[in-house]
Amino acid sequence: MASTARTKPEAGNSPVVSPRVAFQGEPGAFSEEGVLSAFASPQALAMPTWRAVFEAIHDGSVDAGVVPIERSAGGSVREIYDLLFKFDEIRIVGEVTVPVSLALLALPGQTLDDVVRVYSIAQALDQADEFLRSRPWQVMTSYNTAGAAKAIADGQERGAGAIASPRVAPIYGLEVLAADVQTGSANRTRFAVLARESLPAEMFRPNVVSGPMKTTLVWAVRNVPGSLYRCLGCFAERKINLSRLESRPSRGVRWEYVFWADMDADPDSPNCAAALAALLREAVMVRVAGVYHRAPEE
């Protein structure tokens, strides 16, 4: 079934005071930084999994959610696209980018020589690989950066360190043993703001609702030669840039795929509206997964 439903921030609505915004992880996680970067005065609510964030938005127990959708050093977070496809009433209504600054944290009084085990999520361990290879540490994965720090603090685990944001240290009573352990200084994570309905522009921080418009689409092609080529031609012929394009399994039919794209345009513009109309004629399913302002470039 074709769909062009859209959700984007709206100016002039009555603002929700201190909206409830879900994120995955523990207090101090990078996803919480995404919440604080996107909203002016949020109630940030920790959830155990990304699916739990979607479920909380779906059942109305929160006003919005913030999830990582792309890492500059690791690419797309594909599970998020799969959840967006499953929870088709949830839309992307904003985005922010958060710098990735990592530190090695441990219990007070510990030194680098005391540490024998280091915990964090796989992506953070990969980003700190050069630092971690400098010593014969046992490296172990956890479900969340802040969660790794919390587990060390809760268990008073001596000889253990966590790779996490330095802002996590005072939250759990830990100390920074080494700062800026990530490789390079350009790592960023792009977070998507999710909601079921339009959110007042006043709810967001000003930079979240000030950039050019961007649209995220998902569509399915006919299983015939040239179908994807003709779908992409709908945009190329109208000089509309697709800043991102990738495929994911449809989850409905074996060996068939849906295509996700970020379009540097607003569906209200004539060329974009014409491109979407042409895409609807060519594809077997089209859904607008979000219309929102592009995060400012750094």
Q: Which residues are catalytic?
A: 189, 191
DSSP-assigned states of every residue in 47-105: ESSHHHHHHHHHTTSSSEEEEEEEETTTEE-HHHHHHHHHSTT-EEEEEEEEE---EEE
Q: Is 195 helix (H, G, I), strand (E, B) or coil?
A: strand
Alpha carbon distance 219, 2 (integer Å): 9
Residues 6+ apart with CB under 8 A from 90: 54, 57, 58, 84, 194, 195, 196
Alpha carbon distance 80, 118 (integer Å): 27
Alpha carbon distance 178, 15 (integer Å): 42
Question: Residue 295 in contact with residue 96, Cβ under 8 Å?
Answer: yes
Q: Is 218 helix (H, G, I), strand (E, B) or coil?
A: strand
CA 85, 88, 94, 100: dihedral to nearest 10 degrees? -30
Residues 6+ apart with CB under 8 A from 272: 215, 238, 240, 263, 265, 266
Which of the 8 DSSP states describes residue 46? E
